[in-house]
Amino acid sequence: MADAHCHMDAGYFPEGAESVMNRAVDAGVVGFVVVGVGRDLTAAQSAVTLARAHPDRVSACVGIHPHDAVTWTERAHEELLRLAAEPEVVAVGEIGLDYHYDHSPRDVQRSVFARLVGLAREVRKPIVVHTRSAADDTLSILEREGARQVGGIIHCFSEDRAFAVRALDLGFDLSFSGIVTFKNAGAVRDVAAWAPLDRVLVETDSPYLAPVPHRGTRCEPGYVVHTARCVAELRGIPVQELCAATLANTERRFAKVFSRGLHALNSAERRDGSG
């Protein structure tokens, strides 16, 4: 299977991305969509570097998180545009709106989100959307700014069926995180059971939101197996079927084929002796 959305910043995983990913490979994860966002573009650059080092396993997304919308400048936009055009970058994100934390003023979040939808259209890459407590504004900006032209995913889906219908209609797939394993996430579990199988992805959003039975601990990409198992149970299908479908959906959405071999990730380092 693939982890359709994870953060691998060194600050989250001091033991190094390679060992984290090797544990996930052992658990059956063959692909990692690594998201680089932060107060500046350091994490974005790191995600691209990681994807470059592991072209068979890792793809990168670059963007400006709604939390950091206040850091947006014309200059950062130009730099992001240059990064987003790199071949290792498969999507622009995560971008969107977060009215739960309000780390950036809402009007700033909205204008930066709109500009970044335009950036995604410019580089013709899909969008990874983060939305929290901002459903109507998120959908109307996606609609108004022509996001339909590139599509994308609603990452860490935490809305309801009415939102899902509009998002699917706009060309956005639904990516489920560990939240779906929480018994009190009724609306999210309902959508996971109901959504068309060819529009469903699974992710960890590592290091956040570890699924049951790891809830409350640091999340890592290998835990996506628990989320996959939960979604399969909710849908009443074999977990192998769910894994095959979500891997295919991730690869199609991000126009990327991950290597199926379950070899360790550091073979390139071993080859050149720099490991």
Task: Identify any residues that bridge with 153 across adjacent strands, giving them in sequence order.
Answer: 128, 173
Residue 182 Cβ, how far from Zn ion at the closest point, in Å? 16
Q: For residue 133, give the 3-state DSSP assignment.
A: coil
Residue nearest to Zn ion (CB): 130
Size of site (CB under 5 A) for Zn ion: 3
* Footprint on residues 235-264 left by Zn ion (CB under 5 A): none
Nearest to 34 by CA among 17, 47, 16: 47
CA distance 139 to 122: 20
Helix axis angle, 224-235 to 239-253, nearest 10°: 110
**For residues 100 and 252, which CB has a smaller minimum distance to Zn ion in the complex?**
100
Task: Identify any residues that bridge with 89 across adjacent strands, giving them in sequence order.
Answer: 60
**For residues 128 and 225, which CB has a smaller minimum distance to Zn ion in the complex?**
128
CA distance 195 to 157: 12
**For residues 57 and 130, which CB has a smaller minimum distance to Zn ion in the complex?**
130
Max CA pair span of the chain? 54
Residue 152 Cβ, how far from Zn ion at the closest point, in Å? 13
CA distance 202 to 180: 10
* 67 near Zn ion, judged by CB under 5 A: no
CA distance 210 to 196: 25
- Using CA atoms, how far residue 166 sits from 27, 139, 169, 258, in Å, is 34, 8, 5, 30
Residue 240 Cβ, how far from Zn ion at the closest point, in Å? 27
Residue 10 Cβ, how far from Zn ion at the closest point, in Å? 16
**For residues 88 and 205, which CB has a smaller minimum distance to Zn ion in the complex?**
205
Q: Which of 54, 57, 67, 130 binds Zn ion (CB under 5 A)?
A: 130
**What does the buried/exposed string (b/e) look like for 92-117 if buried means 16 or more CB atoms within 10 Å of the residue's CB?**
bbbbbbbeeeeebeeeebbebbbbbb
Residue 260 Cβ, how far from Zn ion at the closest point, in Å? 26
Q: For residue 243, give the 3-state DSSP assignment.
A: helix
* Footprint on residues 187-216 left by Zn ion (CB under 5 A): 205
CB 113 within 8 A of CB 66: yes
Residue 67 Cβ, how far from Zn ion at the closest point, in Å? 9
**For residues 36 and 57, which CB has a smaller minimum distance to Zn ion in the complex?**
36
**For residues 179 and 232, which CB has a smaller minimum distance to Zn ion in the complex?**
179
* Footprint on residues 84-113 left by Zn ion (CB under 5 A): 94
**For residues 94 and 159, which CB has a smaller minimum distance to Zn ion in the complex?**
94
Residue 247 Cβ, how far from Zn ion at the closest point, in Å? 20
Residue 180 Cβ, how far from Zn ion at the closest point, in Å? 15
E strand or H helix that includes residue 175: strand 172-176
**For residues 8 and 25, which CB has a smaller minimum distance to Zn ion in the complex?**
8
**Number of Cα atoms under 13 Å in the Cβ half of residue 245:** 21
Binding site for Zn ion (CB under 5 A): 94, 130, 205
